[in-house]
Amino acid sequence: MTKRAPFVVGITDHVIPPPDLEAAVLDGFAEVDFLDTRREADLDPERLARLDALLVWSTPIGPATVAKLPRCRVVVRFGVGYDKIDVAALEAAGIPFCNNPDYGTEEVADHAVSLLLSLQRRLWEHDARARTYGTTWQANTLTPLRRSSAATVGVVGVGRIGTAVVNRLKPFGYRILGYDPHQPAGHEKAIGYRRVRRLEDLLAESDIVTFHCPLTPETRGLIDRDFLGRMKPGALLVNTARGEMFAGLDPLEEALRSGHLAAAGTDVLPTEPPAPHPLLDAWRKRESWLEGRLVVTPHNAFHSDEAAIEMRRNAAETARLFLEDGVLRNRILP
């Protein structure tokens, strides 16, 4: 007779089912219940009531769901962000919440720097225009086009990913500014960037601004008309952090149309999949005023084959670590 596993770990949903990697980490230790829904309203109360731990990908977890988790001892998110998780409701129910920040750091940093370099070198614009060249070729240069050592990059958020971005940028010779009030004094000396105390100072000095901060009440809607207006004329913007940091797409469209913002590269949008908007319509149609100046990728900066495996194993290991040893890894408090 097969011995029953002592615990039950639920998985709400997944990018690519089935949850075989998680099952391998939990093999013989916990039964895996794959709930397979991204809608909170579709979570089965009877199955939730059995769970000792819950792993979450994209399904929101609010107070109504928390109330249906009487046995649950820990909730773990596969990713880093947790804006869809009611951490306060979990804490009030005595259920600790952990996220998963130690995967995909290299991938997001590589993605951000790739966007940054390609926009600074105006590669996308060159590609678009070169399709139309006939009798001339090498003479078709674009200006302004600054060399890296003559440009200043402002990094907003110098945590794990922001630090990885700084480390990747240094060999190119950029002057690098960093804004992060949560980093300890001297962090800038250890990593190698110039710290600014006010975000507006970073905007005023930076030719390129790249975002690597979490979504919080302070950062939600941060990139609005006033923010963009404070950036240097002709600056570049890169966002691989959170789409909700955009205060909608109207301010971004206005800044690009006016030319105040030379170009933008983003892996994230305010609504995903994106809702209809004139800026995205122009991007899809490759309208001449925008072509090569807006680069959009579908929120996959975190992904590589290796990162996908690391993410899934780490989340399952975090749940097992707590259930087995009582150790909370990467705990997030309200």
As a whole-number percent, the residues of the chain with pLDDT over 70 amount to 99
DSSP letter at 57 equals S
User: Which has the closest alpha carbon to 81: 236, 232, 213, 235?
Assistant: 213
**Residue tagged 């579908």 (tokens):** 298
Residue 242 is among the residues annotated as catalytic for this protein: yes
Catalytic, out of 50, 175, 187, 299:
299
**What does the pLDDT look like over 229-275, one tens digit per residue?**
999 999 999 999 999 999 999 999 999 999 999 999 999 999 999 99
Residue 299 is among the residues annotated as catalytic for this protein: yes
- What is the pLDDT, as a whole number, of residue 3? 56
- Residue by residue, what is the 3-state secondary structure of 1-26? CCCCCCEEEEECCCCCCCCHHHHHHC
Catalytic, out of 111, 122, 212, 242:
242
Catalytic, out of 272, 287, 306, 324:
272
Distance of alpha carbon 132 from alpha carbon 138, whole angstroms: 13
- What is the pLDDT, as a whole number, of residue 4? 61
Whether the model clears a pTM of 0.75, i.e. scores above it, the answer is yes
The one-letter code for the residue type at 276 is: P
| Mean pLDDT, residues 181-190 taken together | 97
Q: Of the ranges 21-30, 115-124, 198-207, which one carries the lowest mean pLDDT score?
A: 21-30
- Model confidence band, residue 19 (pLDDT cutoffs 50, 70, 90): confident
